[in-house]
Every structure is written in C-alpha cells, then in structure tokens.
Homo-oligomer: A and B are copies of this chain.
Amino acid sequence: MTQHPLIRVKDLNVHIDGHHILKNINISIPDKSVTSIIGPSGCGKTTLLKTFNRLLDDTANVTVSGSVLVDDEDIYAPEAEVTHIRKKMGLLSQRPYPLPMSIYDNVAYGPRIHGTRDKSTLDSIVEKQLKDTGLWDEVKDRLHGPANRLSIGQQQRLCLARGLAVKPEIILGDESTSALDPVSTHTIEDLFVRLKAQYTIVLVTHILRQARRISDYIVFVYMGEIVEFGPTDEVLLHPKEELTRQYVKGFIS
C-alpha cells in the first residue's frame, strides 16, 4: 500500500432495525487505484458503499457510529457538508434508477446542477459519456425519449454515464456491470482502468475474474466484517484467511 489512503474508515458500525449489519470496519482505501469489494450476497457490501456517501442518513432506524475520513475530512462530523461530499464521490447504485426525464437530461442532470448551462458543452458531455459507456449507438436516435423505457442493461450504463458526467474524484460502483453482456462489460472495465489514472475507484463485484482483471486491491467482506484486505493477487491467489480461501476456491480451481 504505497499510495496515499484517500478514504479512511475507522471503527465503523452500522445497525439497522437493531441488527448489526456492519461490524467494526477499519480500512484505508488507496488513492488512484481500483479496489474491489467482494463477498457473499447480503454480507453488507452495498451498505458499506452507502456509508461512504452518507446515503443511510435519512433511513429510519439506522444508526451509524465511527468515522469515515475522505481527504482527511470526517464526513460524519456534524459540520460536514453533505452535498459537497456527494459531489466528490459518485455512487453508482446497484439497481439502476433513471431519473424521470429524457435520456439526454439524465446525463446532463449532474453538470447542469453544478453550473454548466451552455448547450453545446452539455451536448458534448452527453455524447462523450454515452460513448464511453457504449450506449451512444443504441440511443442516439432517441436521446429525448423517456429514460425508463430502456432495457435494464441500458439503464445500468445510462446511470454509469450519468454518474461519471459529474466528474467525481471517487467512483463507488455497486455491481456496475451486473446486467451487461460481455462486450459492454468489457467496455466498462476498460473505462474504469482508464479512469483510475485520475480517480479513485471502489467497486463491488461478484465476478472474481473481473476483480482480478481490473482491481489493484481486494476487500473480502463476510457477515458484515472485513476478513481480508490486500493486493489483488495476494487475496485471490494466496489468501491468508481460511474463510477467504473457501470463498475464492471456485476461482482458483
């Protein structure tokens, strides 16, 4: 871990409805690299990503304790500026939710609220993002049609494009390719690899091959706890913990 840790999580605990969902999370996520979070379904990966972004704030019966430091700023400090934090971190949620507007407006939404008004600038942002995510050809004829008519895979890519259009410093992707075919998956993976030169990327993924292909570090979460964290090859090929070994066995064999 040579790089500067950008996100530092200290003693994070999350309770939902009295259930202890995340337990004593301590982790430092390095700058300018791809970190993958893996773990069985329901182990708390999505919850972890959401705490980075304070999206659990207004859910009923949720208590979050501990601290999350981003660029040495504690985002759970009372004086923290949530909007600002969220702009800095782009969360690409697991279930794509297009905003109730056209495809174009979905992508332009972020830049617009952050002050870009110029039509041609917006046009080029939209085009670039849609091309980057491989959606351009599929939707270029109906940019002004409603976004919720897209297929699920298209929605997923649209939400990716929308999230990347605000140029977040940190990208949090929650199973961002789960609904995509191999070709589109490839496009997105390439995109992430390109982006990591400038951004910090945290991905949740179930596909160990994908984790292997694109990530520098891997976090293995099990039942709300971090079991192992380290460089990709170490965790996948020579896991220290028995639990990890069990989990990646399918991959190794």
Residues of A within 8 A of B (CB): 16-17, 38-42, 46, 94-95, 138, 145, 149-154, 156-157, 175, 178-186, 206-208, 247, 250-251
* A5: min CB distance to chain B, Å: 27
Given contacts A151-B46, A152-B95, A206-B185, contact A41 B247 (CB under 8 A): no
A206 contact set on B, CB distance < 8 A = 153, 179-182, 185
Contacts A138-B42, A181-B41, A250-B182 hold; do A152 and B208 have CB atoms under 8 A apart?
Answer: no
C-alpha gap A240/B108 in the complex (Å): 42
CB distance from A160 to the nearest CB of B (A): 12
- Which of B38, B42, B151, B153 interacts with A151 by CB under 8 Å? B42
Closest chain-B Cβ to A209's Cβ sits at a distance in Å of 9
Q: How far is the CA of A39 from the CA of B154 in the complex (A)?
A: 13
**Closest B residue to A178 using CB positions:** B178
**Cβ contact within 8 Å between B94 and A247:** no
